[in-house]
């Protein structure tokens, strides 16, 4: 993971009086591969006011050497991922677009620095296994990369593709509709499901994490109560082609759930949903607007429903 070379800072030389040379007063700082850590600005524990908070966020990256150019390879990737994780946890969602965009523009001082920030933002915000995965925060990163003059047209194709995927089914937007087929062959549209809340679970038969999430949903008192009241429905959709495996697994599925498959494989063929990681949970409201996107945390599903219920 740590893919670094070294960083060498030229020692400062002082010239003494009478044109006589003196010893260097400052020793050269030599960083071994992956050993340079970013000095943090401020102390989060000392924040007392909103002004303190804004100052902390707005100066967070000031100690990073954006002029490092190729010497950026000396920075410790793990340390910078931790710094990025702390940053995205503290920034306000309404400022995320402008702050992430501004950060990536600062990284455009050179191609190596831009590529470095491309790597750490992907690890924190886009990796399927990252607990901080967040398409809304990652979109301004991808937009910067897809437009950057530091990359050639072929290199910009990768972030452009990822950008297209990240913009699918955005929060507070209407989720893409699709047709599903039940075990008895009956077909229906996802948007036709009538309920206050709908959980769409993209799953594979026999997937261990799919089974774990199913058990968590079934064990949730809140989700069970909402299902009993008819206010929550759960659609488990299989987007792949092995229908025999799907049919064999149906006895394992909860009886109250709607379990179907994508007979035309339109979800993948038409890129209706991101299938990079399965399972994936989507929580939709009564208008089929996205409340939770591409998640795996059942507790967060419960939290978002509770927030919605508090506003009723």
Residues 6+ apart with CB under 8 A from 190: 175, 177, 178, 179, 180, 198, 200, 235, 237, 288
Q: What is the pLDDT of residue 218?
A: 97
Q: What is the pLDDT of residue 12?
A: 25
217: tokens are: 């949903």
CATH class of 179-310: alpha beta
DSSP 258: E
Q: Where, residue-wise, is CATH 3.40.30.10 in the chain?
A: 179-310
| Beta carbons of 144 and 104 less than 8 angstroms apart | yes
Q: Quick check: helix, strand or coil at residue 276?
A: coil
Q: What is the pLDDT of residue 41?
A: 83
User: Cα(103)–Cα(114) distance, rounded to whole angstroms?
Assistant: 10
Q: What is the pLDDT of residues 253-268, one digit of tens each?
A: 999 999 999 999 999 9
Q: What is the pLDDT of residue 23?
A: 39
User: Cα(122)–Cα(140) distance, rounded to whole angstroms?
Assistant: 12
Residue-wise burial string across 175-192, b where 16 or more C-beta atoms lie within 10 A, e elsewhere: bbebbbbeeeeeeeebbe
User: Cα(143)–Cα(272) distance, rounded to whole angstroms?
Assistant: 20
Q: What is the pLDDT of residue 35?
A: 85
User: Cα(16)–Cα(99) distance, rounded to whole angstroms?
Assistant: 46
For residue 254, how far is the Cα from the chain centroid?
30
Neighbours of 24 (CB within 10 A): 12
Q: What is the pLDDT of residue 27?
A: 52
Q: What is the pLDDT of residue 18?
A: 36
Low-confidence stretches of the chain (pLDDT beneath 50) = 1-26
- Sheet with 187-189, edge to edge strand ranges: 187-189, 179-181, 258-261, 232-238, 197-202, 280-284, 290-295
200, β-bridge pairs: 235, 282
Alpha helices, DSSP H, located in the chain = 50-58, 77-90, 93-107, 111-125, 135-147, 157-166, 208-218, 221-228, 243-249, 266-269, 298-310
Q: Quick check: helix, strand or coil at residue 202?
A: strand
Most distant CA pair in the chain, distance: 98
Q: What is the pLDDT of residues 36-82, one digit of tens each?
A: 999 988 778 888 999 999 999 999 999 999 999 999 999 999 999 99
Residues 6+ apart with CB under 8 A from 168: 176, 271, 272, 273, 274
The CB-side HSE value for 152 (13 A sphere, CA atoms) comes to 1
DSSP 44: G
């Amino acid at each position: 993971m740590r893919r670094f070379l070294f960083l060498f800072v030229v020692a400062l030389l002082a010239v003494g009086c009478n044109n006589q040379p003196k010893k260097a007063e400052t020793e050269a700082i030599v960083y071994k591969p992956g050993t340079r850590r970013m000095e943090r600005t401020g102390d989060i524990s000392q924040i007392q006011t909103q002004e303190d908070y804004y100052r902390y966020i707005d100066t967070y990256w000031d100690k990073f050497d954006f002029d490092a150019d190729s010497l950026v390879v000396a920075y410790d990737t793990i340390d910078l991922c931790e710094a990025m994780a702390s940053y995205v946890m503290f920034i306000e969602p309404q400022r995320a677009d402008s702050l992430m965009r501004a950060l990536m523009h600062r990284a455009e001082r050179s191609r190596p620095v831009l590529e470095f920030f491309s790597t750490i933002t992907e690890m924190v915000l886009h990796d399927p296994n990252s607990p901080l995965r967040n398409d809304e925060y990652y979109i301004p990163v991808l937009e910067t990369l897809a437009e950057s003059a530091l990359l050639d047209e072929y290199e910009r194709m990768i972030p452009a593709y990822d950008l297209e995927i990240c913009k699918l089914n955005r929060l507070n937007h209407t989720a893409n509709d699709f047709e599903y087929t039940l075990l008895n062959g009956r077909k229906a549209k996802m948007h036709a499901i009538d309920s206050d809340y709908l959980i769409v679970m993209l799953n594979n038969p026999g997937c261990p994490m799919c089974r774990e999430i199913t058990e968590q949903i079934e064990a949730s008192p809140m989700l069970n109560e909402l299902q009993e009241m008819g206010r929550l429905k759960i659609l488990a959709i299989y987007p792949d082609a092995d229908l025999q495996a799907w049919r064999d697994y149906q006895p394992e599925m909860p009886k109250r759930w709607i379990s179907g498959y994508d007979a035309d494989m339109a979800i993948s063929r038409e890129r209706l949903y991101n299938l990079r990681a399965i399972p994936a949970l989507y929580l939709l409201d009564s208008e089929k607007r996205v409340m939770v996107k591409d998640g795996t945390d059942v507790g967060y599903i419960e939290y978002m429903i509770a927030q919605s219920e508090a506003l009723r």
